[in-house]
Amino acid sequence: MAIKGRRLTMPGRRSKAFRKSAKSRIMNVELHTEAFNKDLQRVLKKAEVKKEPTLRNVMFFLLGEVIKLTPIKTGFARGSWMPYLREVGGAVPGAGKVTANYSRAAEKEGEDEGSWDESKSGRAFTIKVASHVPYILRLEFGWSKQAPRGMLRPGMKITRRKLRQEFAELFR
């Protein structure tokens, strides 16, 4: 990797190996998401819980874990995960954790880079939360020394573990 000005470039970006690596990383996230969704569907189907509040609670917990795991330099990337929590009244975890370069203004600016959508189509209820920070995929795949394993995948593992603990009888 070489840094030119403020832009990070990788040698061989257009190489077959680079494209294959990027493809396998996306596949890795899809596999984690698939397993996470299977566990969540099992809980919603077999447990006697209301779907929408349960999905919201799971999303709060997952986002809380992702925010805690997001590396903090200025707070910009971390802020991009917060709009959903702020909009629906959830507390933002890890508010006291800052670094030398941290700026509340950068975190607030990062919130503009996040988006969310809650929709209901027939019986399907969906919550989508996204970070549009340009370097969020780099952070997810080990670019930061603070979070070499990323944030989303470990966050989903922690949330899956919590789901399995809370509804242990469904996973026997």
Cβ-contact 151, 69 below 8 angstroms: yes
Contacts of 32 (CB under 8 A, 6+ apart): 152, 153, 156, 157
pLDDT by residue, tens only, the chain of 172 residues: 444 444 444 444 444 554 555 555 555 666 677 888 888 888 888 888 888 888 888 888 888 899 889 988 888 888 888 877 777 665 565 555 556 667 778 877 888 888 888 888 877 788 888 888 888 888 888 888 888 888 988 999 999 999 889 888 877 7
Cβ-contact 106, 79 below 8 angstroms: yes
Q: Residue ranges of the domains in the chain?
A: 19-171
Q: Read off the pTM.
A: 0.73
